Amino acid sequence: MVTPARCPAILIAAPASGQGKTTVTAALARLHARQGRRVRVFKCGPDFLDPHWHQLASGAPVHQLDLWMNGEADCAQRLYEAAQESDLVLIEGVMGLFDGTPSAADLAQRFGVPVLAVIDAAAMAGTFGALAFGLRHYRAGLPWAGVLANRVGSARHADMLRDGLQDADDWMGALMRVAPGDVATKASAPLLPERHLGLVVAHELHDAMQRLDAAADALAATLLGQMTLDDLQRWAVDFPAPAAVVPVPALLAGRTVAVGRDEAFCFIYAANLQCLAQMGAQVVFFSPLHDAALPACEAVWLPGGYPELHSATIAANTAMQASLRAHVAAAKPVWAECGGMMALFESITLADGAQQPLWGLLPGRVAMQKRLAALGPQHLTVAGHTLRGHTFHYSTAQTTVPVVGRTARPDVAPAPDAGEALYRQGSIHASYFHAWFASAPAAVAHLLGEEGVPA
């Protein structure tokens, strides 16, 4: 019998989005990492942006955990491996604690990880205790760590919040509210700035590490931040060794896959790169914005990101446009996800109504919307194999490119006029769908490999 991997672990959750759980998770990771401790951070659900901050804070790769998208076995394997090599495992929840199917609470209960609730207490007093009590007791058997008050106005305010708790042991401290002008030196809501789709990516801010250190310094003044490794043992979890792992077939052996990666194309699961390597591919990176040509490769993956923020640079890089055209003319495959697909159309209408040309490898245009156009988990069947993933975008597309498939929500059959389209023109496959590669390596091989990949 294989011994379980035992390690302190906490799932940081909240009553809703926007409560500050990303800041708290990153601050806690940074606080322990700069003391020389080995910290591994995970993110619940399909999120590309928060992991950039968590990786910077912890110095280690950050993977997603989702009982549907990953599957339970994949989650178990990643947690077991992380616990073997870490002093502390942190998991940031998604939305509210019980939101979604599966939810962060489902993950916590499945693996016995105690929940730390972060509550924005800026405009409440006694109700803070009611929220904490409800989160703890709403579902029987939920592992529990305590509650942290965020955006607290004063020491007196913190006392009122603590006094309202039914169980004094739930109190993990208070993070104080500060004015936006103090962001450079103190932790606050704007410390990790946001825009549409979520947080600003960490590498776009020259002072990202200073922001994390400021958040860690603020957290260090709380009971949670003052806990030693010995204190954290109260939240130690035994992560059992998963069942024997089925090896990923080497369907891309001998093939080089060029992956676009820069400030415009940055929505990349680290696990997808891991999967490509396990499939035998050699992964090389290039910048669609700044490079003049593709690297030598058999296939291209253009991931999602923010092409709408860099549309002028995309249009100006005619050398990369020509290199992509030559790649497609040679019948070499391209898989373009969401923002990667957008860049391949002829033009984009920005949120202010301005129009900007794009690369024009696909006929049609995209237009930014002021509200979300689509959001949620999706699955897509490719060559008889079903990829799991999600969709999340603010633009819509108009094109004459043939539709060769449609996504559907979990446990729902694809419909002709519903879900995200899978477009196919020549060797290009494109969709708003973001794929979790490990869910169906054979489908990925079809998108990035040759027509001879078995269905």
Residue 338 annotated to the active site: yes
Instruction: Classify the phi-psi angles of 305: left when phi > 0, otherwise alpha if psi is within -120 to 50, otherwise beta.
Output: left
Q: Report the alpha-carbon distance of residue 263 to residue 271 in Å, rounded.
A: 19
- The string over 139-166, giving b where at least 16 C-beta atoms fall within 10 Å of a residue's C-beta and e elsewhere, is eeebbbbbbbbbbbeeeebbebbbebbe
Q: Which of 7, 44, 275, 338 is catalytic?
A: 338
Main-chain dihedrals φ then ψ at residue 383, nearest 5 degrees = 50, 35
Q: Report the alpha-carbon distance of residue 284 to residue 328 in Å, rounded.
A: 18
Q: Determine how many CB atoms are found less than 10 A away from the CB of residue 443.
A: 23
- Per the CB < 8 A criterion, the answer to whether 8 and 69 are in contact is no
Q: Which residues contact 31 (CB under 8 A, 6 or more apart)?
A: 216, 219, 220, 225
Q: Report the alpha-carbon distance of residue 380 to residue 398 in Å, rounded.
A: 20
Half-sphere exposure of 420 (CA within 13 A, CB side): 30
Report the catalytic residues: 338
